[in-house]
Amino acid sequence: MTTQPRPIYMDHHATTPVDPRVLEAMLPYFSEYFGNASSRTHEFGWRAAEAVEAARAQVAALIGADADEIVFTSGATESNNLAILGAAEANLRRGRHVITCMTEHRAVLDPCRALEQRGWRVTRLPVEADGLLDPARLADAIEAETVLVSVMWANNEIGVIHPIAEIGRLCAQRGCLLHVDASQAAAMLPLDVRAAGVHLLSLSAHKMYGPKGIGALYVRRREPRVRLVPVVHGGGHERGLRSGTLNVPGIVGMGSAAAIARSEGAQVAKQLAALRDRLLAGLRARVPGLQVNGSLEHRLPNNLNVSIEGVEGESLIMGLRSVVAVSSGSACTSGSAEPSHVLAALGISPRLAHSSIRFGLGRGNTQEDVDRVVEGVAQVVARLRAMAPDAPPSAT
């Protein structure tokens, strides 16, 4: 009896597998060094606290920050909420205006909507056809009452990398805070919060080969010192910004993942860019009517988001389920019947947006994987188009 091979995993924007080295670092803190990091009267607590501080330094080093500027959270969604809601509440005297981008993750758009319900004004800036935010458009939108600008470093659906350093300079000139969701960028790009002028930055461990349920928020402590009002209360952990017993194994895992990303990220990014280009070349050769969504020049090295004319994206994904694990967009909204708000912001029609598919390559993928995926996509597209008379012909 032969067993069906597992599908190739190319949904690394949704989550990544835990690196074995990360798991190894975490294991002792489940059962051997299991103390509460806030227990200051015995060795069990001391060991846990030491591990937390070591991990804090590792995360800080990944983004060019100081260790005392890292606040651990449950993930990037909580970090985004703390940054946006916390900064808003702490700066009420300045004004009640926030700026974000139409292509942001829901973990940014929804907190901004919550602010609107509290009487704040939110400006959602459009992007260019390639998905990039024009800093000149942002400059025109900043007002005297603008408290915060929130723009992601790299988009989770189309992989487009925004000009964060330029945006940071603009925010510094106009005296408003800059929050950046760097969940997708941390494992793929060199990040330096000071050089880029970032005041608040969100991270998620499970997007960089760490465990789920743990994240961090960078909160700048000088030039300027950023103040936040906490959104979770009870115990005063993490300098009072995020109460709750610390997830020591998760924090250790995030620190380990950050250290690996810092030492190996550049080489991994180079390898994944080559695989991504091979995937795109193969699909273009085998699948007519293929359109790349978003800038190819300013893009994460492991991202490819395409629309295929005459093919419904969910049907294609279902047809490929034994070949490759992919998605049609953000894992948080992929179950929605509505077309991607990110693709809509690029001016892509609902019909073409519904035909989109997102490939997120990762460390474990190979050239053989890419070639197998190209073959699988070509076969499924041909089969689906054969059932749709008005679809473009498929290559033979």
Residues noted as catalytic: 332
Phi, psi of 343 (to 5 degrees): -65, -35
Cβ atoms 262, 61 nearer than 8 A: yes
Which has the closest alpha carbon to 130: 103, 91, 167, 168?
Answer: 103
The amino acid sitting at 384 is L
Taken as a whole, the chain contains a residue count of: 396
Cβ atoms 370, 279 nearer than 8 A: yes
Angstrom distance (rounded) from CA 59 to CA 208: 12
Q: How far is CA 307 from CA 72, 128, 136, 194, 290, in A?
A: 37, 18, 29, 37, 6
Q: Tell me the three state secondary structure of residue 291.
A: strand
**Strands 97-101, 121-125: parallel, antiparallel or unpaired by DSSP?**
parallel
**Strands 324-325, 8-9: parallel, antiparallel or unpaired by DSSP?**
parallel
Angstrom distance (rounded) from CA 363 to CA 12: 9
Angstrom distance (rounded) from CA 310 to CA 258: 42
Max distance between CA atoms of the chain, in angstroms, equals: 74
